[in-house]
Amino acid sequence: MAHNSTLGELLRSQGVSRRAFLKFCTTTASVMALPATLVPVMADALEQVRRPSVIWLSFQECTGCTEALTRSHAPTLENLIFNFISLDYHHALQAASGRAAEAAREEAMRENAGKYLLLVDGSIPTVKAYSTIAGISNLDMLMDSAPNAAAIIAVGTCAAYGGLPMAAPNPTSAVSVSDLIKDKPIINIPGCPPIPLAMTGVLAHYLTLGTLPALDALGRPLAFYGDTIHDRCYRRPFYDRGLFAKTFDDEGARKGWCLYKLGCKGPVAYNACANVKWNQGVSFPIQSGHGCIGCCEPGFWDNGGIYESIARGQFGTGPTMGVAAMVGAGVGAGAALAARSKKEQAAAAHRAAE
């Protein structure tokens, strides 16, 4: 399981030009909010880096996180990422199975002790019998793989917060990665599924600079989770004017008015969906006509119905949602005040985390 080739050598052997590689580095630096002066530094560093071993563990999950990454458009960031890592273990993508698969994981851990990156998607059932791989419980596999990892990336809401398996009554006693691992750097990349660029951007940052990107109070990279979807939403002007769709087929919906009254959680959901988008930057849920369900936030599955407005649901606590409740979901001014209060609280948490 040697990883002797540098990324530069590998890319050249596959016909990737220097121009294309620099474009990749420029885009990565931009989305990670890094200064332009770091582009040549990133390029030089990535060209010389030896491909690190990556072990990807999948537990209680739907495979959506893997689907998001593998279905990303070619030949840019999301595909290049597989050129500068050595994906040594992944249930869905590896050719090996059974004993051969577990032997690959054990060999990668042994040969790259202290250096490999551990990616985890899916929550971990603490009732061991609910989910096993090759006869090994998810809990035991995580606790066996984590001690010698250089860093851990919790991919998707299930790994980051517990996700849908943790929803009440939580029959498997599911927990998140950070509930179990306390002595390793952990980056949370929540979402159902996360934006592929968030996954690849974090990996590129770590491989280039050898450090974790700036994180918020929930361990999420600020480059992708620093603003609410509401802040960047193209429907925001309608929100500010108090123009809301009341059903999915009324005049407001046809004119693209704000979906707040139809349950959109954009004002309290921190993610880059509105500006990075999906499918080669074509669209995101709100642009497709459906409100944000807040899947990047902890406990979204138990915070009220998808089509309940924030004021009637359980997103947030205290004065933030109290204001919205008093004025009602239909009053634009009250909604704006609630969103502003939530944003100020999150900004304070971000500053405290830094």
Distances (CA, A) of 206 to 77, 159, 187, 289, 293: 15, 19, 11, 36, 30
Residue 65 is assigned to a ligand binding site = yes
* Parallel, antiparallel or unpaired: strands 117-121 and 53-58: parallel
* Ligand-binding site membership of 273 (annotated): yes
Establish whether 62 is an annotated binding residue. yes
Q: Is 25 annotated as a binding residue?
A: no
Cα–Cα distance for residue pair 36/30, rounded to 1 Å: 8
Helix (H, G, I), strand (E, B) or coil at 137: strand
How would you class 180 by CB atoms within 10 Å of its CB: exposed for 0-12, middle for 13-18, buried for 19 or more? middle
Q: Annotated binding residue at 233? A: yes
Does 292 count as an annotated binding residue?
yes
350 labelled ligand-binding: no
Q: Whose CA is closest to 153, among 107, 194, 208? A: 194
Residue that is written with structure tokens 């109070």 in the block: 217
DSSP 113: T
Q: How many helices (H) and strands (E) does the chain have?
A: 17, 9
Residues within the annotated binding site for [4Fe-4S] cluster? 62, 65, 158, 192, 230, 233, 258, 264
Positions at the binding site: 62, 65, 158, 192, 230, 233, 258, 264, 273, 292, 295
Q: Which residues are annotated as a binding site for [3Fe-4S] cluster?
A: 273, 292, 295
